[in-house]
Structure 1
Amino acid sequence: MVESEPHSILVIGPTTSDKNVDLSTAMYDTVEILHQLGYKTSVIVEDPTSLLSSGKYFDRIVVARVTGEHVLQYVHEYHPDAILPTVGDRNALGIVSSLNGKIGSVKILGSNYMASLATFKRELFIQKLTESQLPVINFVSSDDEKEIYSFIRSIGFPIIARRRYSNRHSSGWTNINNLFELDNFMALEDIEDSRIEIERSIRGFSEYSFTVVRDKFDNSALIGTIEDIEPIGIHHLDSNLISPAISLNDSKLQKMRTASLKLAQAFDIVGVCTVHFAYNHKTNEYFITEFIPRLSEETKFLEYATSYPIATAVVELSLGYHLDKLQLDGGRGFNGASEPFVDHITSRFPQWSAKGQKYLGPSKTSDSSIVVNGFSIEEVFNKGALNDKLNHNVERREQLSKLDDDQLFEKIIHPTNWMLDVLIEALRRKFEMPVLSEITGINMPYLTVLKNLLDISNLIDGDEVSTDNIERLVEMGVKGVGQSELLLDSDDVVTKTVVKSKRSITVSNRNYNNQNFFVTAGIKSDLKLSDKNKIIVRSPIITSKTDIMVRQFVLMQLVQSIAQNGLEAIVIGREPWTAPLSSREKVIEIDDPYMEMKSLDLIPEESIFKVIDFSKHLNEDDQVDNVFQINAKQLKNVEMPGEISLRAMVVTDGNNYLVPSVIYRQESDGHSFEISSYNNFLPVADRSAISKLIEQELEDNNEVNVFNFEFVRSNDHWVVTKSFEGMTDDIIRHELASSVHVIDTLVKLILGNKIEDNKTLEEIFNNQDNRYLLTVDDKRYNLLDFESTKEQLAKLLK
């Protein structure tokens, strides 16, 4: 590190953790590599649990609303050398764009003022692309009605329009197809300090995104491409995504790749940039619709799809590293200029918690997503969007079969999250594929895939599977789903379910050990295991962003603890999990949507020390001694009013127990207040009373386990109102708030360690924390020292 380089860096974190879990995991990799490289790192973040670590990589954690005002306040008080906004969300770019001229010599790493501002100011974005001779959509932003109507006459209908307010927020795009709809939009109540933005409509174009990395020496590389199966007009995260973009021939791909690299150069991006394109395959017109000069959900998806360590690369490029001379953990070299070449397809399918249909449009409606891998599009469709275990597709088919052709056609015109099922039903009724492609905007390759899957279904339903067509069915992902006894019982080696490695990083990066696998069909398995004893961790299916955060945190801690205790961790999940970079060589990750790994018998039974099940899908035949279930199971739920309550996490070896974390909660004047690590403020009398209640609850337990108890204060007595066996969603708060690492303690107990006999109350409730997390109304957070927390408690108790 030379004198001109930054020594202290302020990282602008994401706003809310539930929405930005992908950025939370990227944050972990970011600060870990900064710590290894010797930089002092601070972070400003609204929710400290989103950091996924107890702060060991940070010199300072500021818990406050992530605003320009608070960033400026930090700069003036602590004088960092640089600010890194690319791990934050869109809000971080807004902050950077507002700081120009206000922070003196403090450097902005990654996205500069111009790039940040252009993500908000459409005029600047258009101007910069036009200067660089890059394709961009016609656009106007004005509060002059004459100018707006004149512009529309020049481009014609259809158009899209929105109101942009002075605070950078907007009303969202509205589709306008004729003069009548335009007059209605213009007649809406006007708001001061707002402008109307008009663009030519590209609804129905195909959408692609290209992610590139670039260093400050103008070296660039394409990391990956993503294609939306649904066309523009449906929100990007409500569409089924495929990587790499398989509908592009080489000339189209190279055209957009060149434009992506040119845009990164035009805005002087140092780090990562994702560029979105609209492409019309009939006219070969294409436009750049937006760019994202930071880490995002897409970069995290591509990091899994390609194994390229994007978060780590972005940090080092921002610090001035050459693209071909990056470092991984431990100082190993990594050639970031080598563009990944994948031998498989990775897909992201949106998920909705409700079974019913949701109409799709410009606004996001999905709750979460599932990521799957395969060697063909048919395979990933079978595993994801058409997986009956996840999406109730058989039930959908029954409902759609009852519609007449006109009713079905209505669902084709107005797309819902059942679109793929609707199209299969339309193909079943001999609707013509070119007509369906014209109406839906879905490219022909995907309709061909659906036709192939329909043909397979007809073969199986008609009991026509034979040795002549069995290999074709296997290639399309039918093996292992259970649709055909011939497939399951066949001795043909091609039909065997195997585990394949995700081969992604090119030849020059072979020293980068990639241990990501997925279950598919083929001739032989790629899974190679060491001689170490193993702990298998079954990862859960994801249902919400909160679940993802809990899963990420628990798996990270489990893998680290298993490795530290000398065992090998194998994580097997219904969908993939991307470990932090420092853990990727310590863990084997296997994507297993149909839960076939146990039947494959690829892991020697004698090498499995324990199975830790975190999947919520424990089978009856798995109720054996070596399966340890850590997913929460409620044991007691008693409704009892009380202003003051405690939540305690208890770890037991079956004989003795520890209470490393207690959370205090009080309801007062319509507000709620929670304080972590309340162990250090818990009076002796309360410790004694709670300890006796815990002993009563654990009276029949004689095994290693984790319990969560809720206590309510009623008539000057503590009462147990709720109890859970296993880990609840509170685990992140308990673990981060506790100086005794709950998950590591649990792993040690599973390995046979014991808790000492005759521990005092002080030792049982031991917690050496010196910072305490105050949460107000379950959404506002603050980190306090001991005296400030004591003062806050005194106010509450009054």
Structure 2
Amino acid sequence: MELNDIHTILIIGPTISDKNVDLSTALYDTVDILHKLGYKTSIIVEDPTSLLSSGIFFDKTIVERVSGDNVLKFVQKYHPDAILPTVGDRNALGIVSSLNGKIGNTKILGPNYASSLATFKRDLFIKRLNRAKLPVINFISSDDEKEIYSFIRSIGFPIIARRRYSNRHSSGWTNINNLFELDNFMSLDDLEDTKIEIERSIRGFSEYSFTIVRDRFDNSSLIGTIEDIEPIGIHHLDSNLVSPAISLNDSKLQRLRNYSIKLARVFNIVGVCTVHFAYNHVTDESYITEFIPRLSEETKFLEYATSYPLATAVAELCVGFHLDKLQLDAGNFFNGATEPFVDHITSRFPQWKTPGQKYLGPSKTSNSSIIVNGFSLEEVLNKGALNDKFNNNFDRYEKLRKLDDDELFEKIIHPTNWMLDVLLEAMRRKFEKPVLSEITGINMPYLTALQNIIDNSLIIREGEIDGKNVERMVEMGVKGVGHSKLLLDSQDIVTRTVVKNKSAVSVANKDYSNRNYFVTSGISNELELTDRKKIVVRTPIITSKTDITIRQFVLFQLTKSIDQNGLEPIIVGREPWNAPLSMRKKIIEIDDPHMEMKSLKLIPNDNILNIIDLSKNLIDSGDDRLFQFSAQEIKNTGITSDISARVMVVTDGHDFLVPSVILRMKKNKHLYEVSSVNNFMTPEDYNDFSKLISGELEDEDQVAIYNFEFVRPNDRWLVSKKYRGMTNDIIRHELASSVHVIDTLVKLLLGNKIGNDLPLTKIFSNCDEDYLLTIDNKRYKLLDKAGMQKTIDELKQNNK
């Protein structure tokens, strides 16, 4: 079944880009299953914090710039049997395409040279698809004006054009609708070695993506589909996404499915492939716009939506498994060829940090996203994009209501992140839906859902709730949204809020249980609990990529520790979290965007030992079981110095441990950060730090985590900052320390004690063997103890 000549695998890790945080649990699942199957894995990665907890599985960790040269050096030195690029970002595909003919007998798993190169070279991509008779948009890249005009005459207007410079950079795409606009574009001054790229415009087409998996025996399976509510012309990650694709009938879906499978066959992709389509529902034209032969943000979204263990499946397919004979844990088989059939809708709504309008186009502007589940379009729209708790929709409504029809029409023509609110206002003014669909490119099912929301808002506002409409209104997810007090006060049984299992026929295996739920409305509740004592972990709305990284790391460590201590972890989140596969049978995850779980009382109160809250605003601060994990600033003197230390402290209310100290020093205009300085501190430092911490904690008598910043302006340590709870440093402290801070915290919450009269060496104990040096928060080096001691001595010598 497996490839018998593969024993050691080099994994190309993600770059330091914040776009790759969604791959962190995918990376864990990948190396977890490879480890269980007996493979030795190494990784080359720029930022080791992106490894989260997966670092324990690697035989070697190389902290270097993730480039073709460094991958080649590793291959020439260690001779791995294979390279796996599927958990890297687009950079990994670029590296694979550059290694052709340079790595001897080392195999490339997953995307091969041709498929990797085709993601960058559009001419190769088009040539392969044309040869396979797959629908693709032809384009030209030329500096010959006659050739360009001849090509345009063959395809007609509208077109899009851009300039490609010799340094591989390019200008943005320009929409050109007629010969006059083309002449203006062509008349602009050109730099030397510049080519003009032109292709037919598909602006306004609907956008879909299909994700399939394929084994080396040419067996394929469609895992999921995603539809962009907004049309092509708006960046994929600025659009509201819906899975499964609602506006495709079966014949259209099967056509695009067949195209996706054929493309994977054309490029001989083994593993996963996401194919993007442009579809015109008026002319029935469809085109393949791009493909992604690796794990990505979309595959992570689909893994949550369908419950299909994509990362695990892809790793096994890459090493030679049959699609119908995959394993969940190196022993428990499942049929990966079973295509998921979901009974719900999963939607992803982009979020922006600032409340104002953002004009949308081909460049990404959103900062993060919210994912919600429901049984109807109206429900997911009400929970997500039209949820006033997230988006200030009532403020938007008041501003839009003051516009006249011409001003409103301008906002319909020029899309912003308020587009759904603009359409709601337009339909309130009786703008015709077919006209709005034609202008905006948004398909009718979504406009119909918006119309239903308008109709029900009027019913609620006018207090006309009765038995004829209450059930339909509940199906639309109006509970907890806007003017819903009358509905909430209704005694009708269908207005009950319940928890439903996120069901999906995803794997042919009875033992694969999906313990992922979401809050909705209905008569029967599906939440199943064991008799084990529980710790509830509540998570907030996510506002940035940094928050996502921290939350993924903290949740994994928390849930693993809660389970290892004999308790059942329950994650209740404003936005869902998809646990690594090894933890999914042990965790109950509940998607609760309106934070209704507490009032539902579905979890027996006497079964809850503790409530760990990761949000910054507590909703039940009087509960003595509540532990606030997020940082609260207690002290900030504003004192700074060129030498400082960030100190993590865990206390049981009486005694404390200092498992991690990170030293920061400035030298030659660079900032150096040294992990696990516990092992390089002098007895005097131990004593000074201990006295300062004891003084700061003198009046504290509760279990807690504290973060201190010490500065040394005049050869004397002072406390400049003090936080109670978790700061953004939690990842660095956990990775830098052999003492697991989060696990220690859980044990203390359960009643364990640190013990008094510990010697200072025990309080600051840290048995690390590898140390992390960070330069300017961008470059990283792993050093042994001798190498780090030498570095510290050099830095201190400079600061004397």
Distance 2:481 2:492 in 1: 17
Q: For each residue in 1:410-451, what CA deviation from the matched residue of structure 2 results, as whole angstroms up to 9, or x when unmatched?
A: 111100000000000111111111111111010111111111
- Whole-angstrom distance in 2 between the partners of 1:264 and 1:193: 35
Q: Which has the higher mean CA deviation after the structures are superposed, 79-88 or 139-148? A: 139-148
Aligned twin of 1:115: 115
Preserved CA contact (<8 Å) 1:540 1:615? yes
Q: Deviations over 1:457-499 (max 9, x none)?
A: 1111112222221111001001244733442233322110000
* Alpha-carbon contact 2:32-2:54 (below 8 Å) kept: no
1:434 aligns with 2:429: no
3-state SS, counterpart of residue 50 of structure 2: helix
Give distance in 1, aligned partners of 2:781 and 2:150.
52
Pairs within 5 Å for 1:775-786: 775-786=774-785
Question: Does residue 229 in structure 1 map to residue 229 in structure 2?
Answer: yes
CA contact (8 A) 2:31 2:54 kept: no
Moved more, 537-546 or 507-516: 507-516
Contact 1:206–1:441 (CA under 8 A) maintained in structure 2? yes
Aligned to 2:528: 528
- One-letter identity of the residue aligned with 1:758: D
Aligned partner of 1:781: which letter? Y
| Change in CA separation of 1:483 and 1:2 when aligned onto 2, cut-off 3 Å | closer
Bigger drift between 403-412 and 781-790 goes to: 781-790
Partners of 2:548 and 2:116 lie apart in 1 by 29
- Which whole-Å CA distance do the structure 2 matches of 1:397 and 1:486 have between them? 21
Q: Is the 8 A contact 2:710 2:719 kept in 1?
A: yes
Instruction: Name the counterpart of 2:676.
Output: 677
- 1:220-259 to 2 correspondences below 5 Å: 220-259=220-259
Q: Would you say the 8 A contact 1:466–1:486 is kept in 2?
A: no
Deviation of 1:329 after TM superposition, in Å, equals: 1.7
Identical-residue share of aligned pairs (%): 71
Is 1:42 aligned to 2:38, yes or no? Answer: no
Quote the Cα distance in structure 2 between the aligned partners of 1:532 and 1:382: 35
User: Conserved in 1, the CA contact under 8 Å of 2:308 and 2:506?
Assistant: no
1:325 maps to a residue whose letter is K
Cα distance 1:2–1:250, how it changes in 2: closer, same or farther (>3 A)? Answer: closer
Task: Pick closer, same or farther for the CA change 1:506–1:26 going to 2, 3 Å.
Answer: closer
Name the residue aligned to 1:351. 351
Deviation at 1:194, TM superposition (A): 4.4
User: Residue 478 of structure 2 aligns with which residue?
Assistant: 478
Q: Quick one: distance in 2 between partners of 1:692 and 1:519?
A: 49
Instruction: Quote the residue 1:591 is aligned against.
Output: 591
**Regions of 4+ moved over 6 Å:** none
1:543-558 correspondence runs (5 A): 543-558=543-558
Pair 1:33–1:780, CA change in 2 (3 A): same
Q: Which runs of 5+ in 2 are unaligned?
A: none
SS in 2 for 1:569: strand
- Following TM superposition, by how much is the alpha carbon of 1:295 offset from its aligned partner in structure 2, in angstroms? 0.3
Amino acid at match of 2:450: L
Matched, 1:739 2:738: yes
- Could you tell me whether the CA contact under 8 Å between 1:357 and 1:416 is conserved in 2? yes
**For the Cα contact (< 8 Å) 2:501–2:515, is it kept in 1?**
yes
Amino acid in structure 1 at the alignment position of 2:237: L
CA positional deviation for 1:185 = 3.5
| 786-795 or 553-562, larger mean C-alpha shift | 786-795
Partner of 2:396: 396
Match in the other structure for 1:337 = 337
What are the superposed Cα offsets for residues 744-771 of structure 1, whole Å, 9 maximum, x if unpaired? 0000000111002111111111111111
Whether 1:650 aligns to 2:641 is: no
CA distance in 2, matches of 1:783, 1:186: 52
How far does residue 590 in structure 1 lie from its aligned partner after superposition? 0.1
Q: Is the 8 A contact 2:340 2:507 kept in 1?
A: no
SS of equivalent residue, structure 1 residue 324 = helix
Partner of 1:691: 690
* Letter in structure 1 aligned against 2:585: E
Task: Give the distance between the partners of 2:767 and 2:187, measured in 1 at CA.
Answer: 63
User: Within 2, Cα distance between the matches of 1:198 and 1:762?
Assistant: 68
1:622 Cα offset (Å): 3.6
Match of 2:789 in 1: 790
Q: Is the 8 A contact 2:387 2:481 kept in 1?
A: no
* Structure 1 position 712 matched with structure 2 position 706: no
Please say if residues 460 and 487 of structure 2, whose CA atoms lie closer than 8 Å, have aligned partners that are also in contact.
no
In 1, Cα distance between equivalents of 2:95 and 2:166: 15
Q: Which residue of 2 aligns with 1:275?
A: 275
Change (3 A) 1:462 1:669: same
CA contact (8 A) 1:278 1:287 kept: yes
Asked if the contact 1:120/1:168 (under 8 Å) is kept, the reply is: no
Query: What does residue range 290-439 of structure 1 map to in structure 2 within 5 Å?
Result: 290-439=290-439
> How far is the alpha carbon of 1:376 from its aligned partner?
0.3
C-alpha distance in 1 between matches for 2:446 and 2:2: 53
- 1:224, 1:243 within 8 Å by CA — same for their partners in 2? yes
Partner residue in 1 for 2:582: 582
Residue in 2 aligned with 1:666?
A: 665
Aligned with 2:721: secondary structure? strand
Paired letter, 1:662 = V
Residue 138 of structure 1: CA displacement?
Answer: 2.0
Cα deviation per residue 1:349-374 (whole Å; 9 max; x = unaligned)? 00000000000000000000010000
Alignment of 1:740-779 (within 5 A): 740-779=739-778
Alpha-carbon shift at residue 55 of structure 1 (Å): 1.9
- In the TM superposition, residue 659 of structure 1 has moved relative to its aligned partner by 0.5
Give me the whole-angstrom Cα distance separating, in 1, the residues matched to 2:595 and 2:276: 35
- Separation in 1 of the partners of 2:20 and 2:108? 22
Letter of the structure 2 residue corresponding to residue 425 of structure 1: E
Matched residue SS, 2:709: strand
Pair 1:312–1:506, CA change in 2 (3 A):
closer
Q: What do residues 162-215 of structure 1 show as CA deviations (whole Å, max 9, x unaligned)?
A: 334556544342322233433443344544554332110000000000000000
C-alpha contact (below 8 Å) 1:54/1:736 kept by paired residues:
no
Conservation of the 8 A alpha-carbon contact between 1:482 and 1:488: no
In the alignment, what sits opposite 2:202? 202
Separation in structure 1 between the aligned mates of residue 410 and residue 268 of structure 2, nearest angstrom = 47
Q: How does 1:131-150 map onto structure 2 within 5 Å?
A: 131-150=131-150
Residue of structure 2 equivalent to 1:730? 729
Q: In the TM superposition, what is the alpha-carbon distance from 1:779 to its structure 2 partner?
A: 1.2
Q: What whole-Å deviation, never above 9, does each CA across 1:594-640 have from its counterpart, x for those lacking one?
A: 00001111111111111111122311x34211111111111111211
Which residue of the partner structure matches residue 641 of structure 1? 640
Q: Given residue 648 of structure 1, which amino acid in structure 2 is its aligned partner?
A: V
| Structure 1 range deviating more: 510-519 or 138-147 | 138-147
What TM-score do the two structures reach when normalised by structure 2? 0.98
CA distance, structure 1, for counterparts of residue 204 and residue 532 of structure 2:
54
Task: Decide whether aligned partners of structure 1 residues 88 and 567 sit closer, same or farther in structure 2, where only a CA change above 3 A counts.
Answer: same
- 2: CA distance, partners of 1:259 / 1:723: 58
Aligned residues: 797
Measured in 2, the distance between the counterparts of 1:165 and 1:119 equals 19
Residues in 2 aligned to 1:641 and 1:304: alpha-carbon distance in whole angstroms: 44
CA distance in 1, matches of 2:704, 2:8: 42
Root-mean-square deviation (CA), in Å?
Answer: 1.4
Q: Which residue type is aligned with residue 744 of structure 2?
A: T
Q: Which moved more, 1:188-197 or 1:382-391?
A: 188-197
The alpha-carbon distance between structure 1 residues 506 and 367, as it changes in their structure 2 partners (threshold 3 A), is closer
For 2:4 and 2:371, the matched residues in 1 are separated by 43
Residues 205, 400 of structure 1: alpha-carbon distance in 2 compared, 3 angstrom cutoff: same
Q: How does 1:496-575 map to 2 (within 5 A)?
A: 496-506=496-506, 508-575=508-575
Matches within 5 A, 1:436-451: 436-451=436-451
Distance 1:111 1:241, change over 3 A: same
For structure 1, the 5+ residue unaligned runs are none
**What SS does the corresponding residue of 1:314 show, helix, strand or coil?**
helix
Q: Please list the CA deviations of residues 131-164 of structure 1 after superposition, one character each: whole Å capped at 9, or x if unmatched.
A: 1111011211223232122111211221112334
Per the alignment, do residues 28 and 192 of structure 1 end up closer, same or farther by CA in structure 2, a change over 3 Å counting? farther
